Amino acid sequence: MDKEQRATTARLAITAILAGTAAACPMPAPAHILLYLAAYAVIGADIIYKALRNIPRGRIFDENFLMAAATCGAIALGEYPEAVAVMALYQLGEMLSDIAVGRSRASISALMEIRPDTAVIEVPRGSTRQMPPTDVPIGSMAIVSPGEKIPLDGTIISGTTDIDASALTGESQPYAAAPGDKVLGGCINLTGAIRIKTTAQYADTTAAKILEMVENAETGKAHTEKAVTRLARRYTPIVVAAAVLLAVLPPLAGAGSWEQWLHRALVFLVISCPCALVISVPLAFFAGIGGAARKGILFKGSTHIETMAKARAVAFDKTGTLTYGRFSVTAIHPETVSEEQLLELAALAESRSVHPVALSLRAAYSGTQGQDAVSDLHEHPGEGIEATIGGKHIYAGNERLMARAGVVPRQCSCTGTIIHISVDGTYMGHIAVADTPKPQSAQAIGRLREKGIHTVMLTGDKDSVAAAVAAATGIKEYHAGLMPDQKARFVAALAQQPATTPVAFVGDGINDAPVLKTADAGIAMGAAGSAAAIAAADIVLLNDDPLQVDTAIDTARKTMRIVRQNIILALAVKSALLAAGACGIAGMWAAVFADVGVTLAAVLNSLRAMRTAC
């Protein structure tokens, strides 16, 4: 409980004593009224103040106004106990939902405890200094003791350890790390002392990007969320107008006393308070986003929850998404040079690329790379690399790139992705690299199919490789040889057809940015470590598991179910009570109990969204 909540509790207690005394002790009428008015002032003064304060600001018809109008009306009618009770119950309900919201926020931010507090940095003369991670320049040496949080993204220079990345990726198993391995800020260093060389400033670390994303998640509001706010804004004036009519018309028509109808109109006002929706719908989205974040699924806003809940098609990129994206060289077929020379050419050309193919070629080449000789590097997305090395013009990539280079590549019967290499217009040979499908891919495709969601694989790789991966993962439809813009057009076409819209695209974020943007929901996979993918996508899956796509859909559907339940519950109870109130069946007490009850039920229901379906 915070200070404000404690103060409300104290005021509720005082009100209870004052009103209780008034109700229980026999006393002259004026003393009686004074006690009730004092009780009312203690519990209701701030609501009246807020209602009055909001009028010049143009926010006339908010819940404060409804409560103030209803209770002041009750006092005018001489129904003092009702006025006090309505205010007290309203305040109690507000406080309880405040506590619930506060709890959920606290538990989400606790789970997002990835913000490093301090970094221990080596300074000259062999000593160390503690400083805030935000002040640490790139390339600093940081010492991380066992049990400490890694302050910034970096590479291990010395020491071996186990690393717990669960707060970042949702992966519960720690993994072993040794010199040369990359580590992410925000992970916990479990067992050994390590020295790391930082590779990013704080603002560019994965942890900072994730926090930024979670903190901004509220700006990408879902249609439902916006609709509720709009509804509340329009609906309250309508309700007030209806209440005025209810108070005036029947007595004018001679259907009862003014007092009787004024009382009914006030009850009507209390019932119509839209708090249940205004509080619970945003909370459900917030809880859904928070629950998903715990599992390493980051929704950039509630609008993406809405889209994912309705997704009818999911298009997958192949490399790095359905497959590991860790290629290994399986064959080297040079024309005139030696195998080692061909590999050197390829490794040099790929020296700056982050494409999985490039990483594998560099890893296979054991010689030292004279990077200084490389100039004019250009990556053709979906094709390969064009580079000038030591004055020679080199192309390394697929058949499309060879067409661009104007050379005719030799056909190869090897399985796997073939990287052809040409130098100054002469074909030099090719290198075959192969990748393996992730074991979870087939399961993920199977689960999506069970949900009736259409799945398709889009790849820039050649047909034979695509066919093998499609067979291994059980994906029925695939399209090979696509350039990134063709993938985008394909996804746009899916988004046009009623049977496959909305469409989600899942990619690894390397050269997929246009497709991620085109899809109704762009999902970047395995993005822990890639700030660029976090920027391009709507949804980020922090670990490499394709099953997360299915979990994201389950979470989104569950959240939307809760939102719908809350809307139906609130509208049903409210409309039944409105009718009852208008007919004079439900009194002020019933009205306020129903309002507080529905709000609390909806808030508690919303919190369920934090527990993701899995």
The residues assigned a catalytic role are 317
Indicate whether 461 belongs to the interface with ligand ADP (CB under 6 A).
Answer: yes
The span from the CA of 563 to the CA of 284, in Å, is 6
Peptide bond into 179 cis (omega under 30): no
Residue 312 binding: pick among ligand ADP, Mg ion, none (C-beta 5-8 Å cut-off by kind): none
Residues within window 355-394 making contact with ligand ADP, judged by CB under 6 A? 355, 357-358, 379, 382-385
Residues within window 34-73 making contact with ligand ADP, judged by CB under 6 A? none
Q: Which helix (H) or strand (E) holds 532?
A: helix 531-536
| Binding residue (CB under 6 A) for ligand ADP from 459, 548, 559, 605 | 459
Q: How far is the CB of 472 from Mg ion (least distance, A)?
A: 17
Q: Which two tokens stand for residue 241?
A: 């107008």
Q: How far is the CB of 320 from ligand ADP (least distance, A)?
A: 6
Indicate whether 270 belongs to the interface with ligand ADP (CB under 6 A).
Answer: no
Indicate whether 319 belongs to the interface with ligand ADP (CB under 6 A).
Answer: yes
Residue 374 binding: pick among Mg ion, ligand ADP, none (C-beta 5-8 Å cut-off by kind): none
Q: Which two tokens stand for residue 381?
A: 């997305």
Indicate whether 186 belongs to the interface with ligand ADP (CB under 6 A).
Answer: no
User: 189 - beta bridge partners?
Assistant: 163
Q: Is 479 exposed, middle or buried (0-12, 13-18, 19+ CB in 10 A)?
A: middle
Residues within window 317-346 making contact with Mg ion, judged by CB under 5 A? 317, 319
Q: Which helix (H) or strand (E) holds 57?
A: none
Q: To 5 degrees, how large is the angle CA 301–CA 302–CA 308?
A: 100
* Residue 351 or 612 with smaller CB distance to ligand ADP: 351
Indicate whether 417 belongs to the interface with Mg ion (CB under 5 A).
Answer: no
The span from the CA of 601 to the CA of 271, in Å, is 16
Count the site residues for ligand ADP by CB under 6 A: 23
Count the site residues for Mg ion by CB under 5 A: 2
Residue 385 binding: pick among ligand ADP, Mg ion, none (C-beta 5-8 Å cut-off by kind): ligand ADP
* Residue 318 or 430 with smaller CB distance to Mg ion: 318
Q: Residue 201 carries which DSSP code?
A: -
Residues within window 403-432 making contact with ligand ADP, judged by CB under 6 A? 417, 419
The span from the CA of 438 to the CA of 297, in Å, is 19
The span from the CA of 54 to the CA of 61, in Å, is 9
* Residue 148 or 512 with smaller CB distance to ligand ADP: 512
Q: To 5 degrees, how large is the angle CA 358–CA 362–CA 364?
A: 120
Indicate whether 455 belongs to the interface with Mg ion (CB under 5 A).
Answer: no
Q: Which two tokens stand for residue 566?
A: 């809350």
Q: Residue 134 carries which DSSP code?
A: G
Indicate whether 518 belongs to the interface with ligand ADP (CB under 6 A).
Answer: no
Indicate whether 360 belongs to the interface with Mg ion (CB under 5 A).
Answer: no
The span from the CA of 293 to the CA of 169, in Å, is 9
Residue 239 binding: pick among ligand ADP, Mg ion, none (C-beta 5-8 Å cut-off by kind): none
The span from the CA of 413 to the CA of 297, in Å, is 40
Q: Which residues bind Mg ion (CB under 5 A)?
A: 317, 319
Binding region for ligand ADP (CB under 6 A):
317-319, 350, 353, 355, 357-358, 379, 382-385, 396-398, 417, 419, 459-461, 484, 511
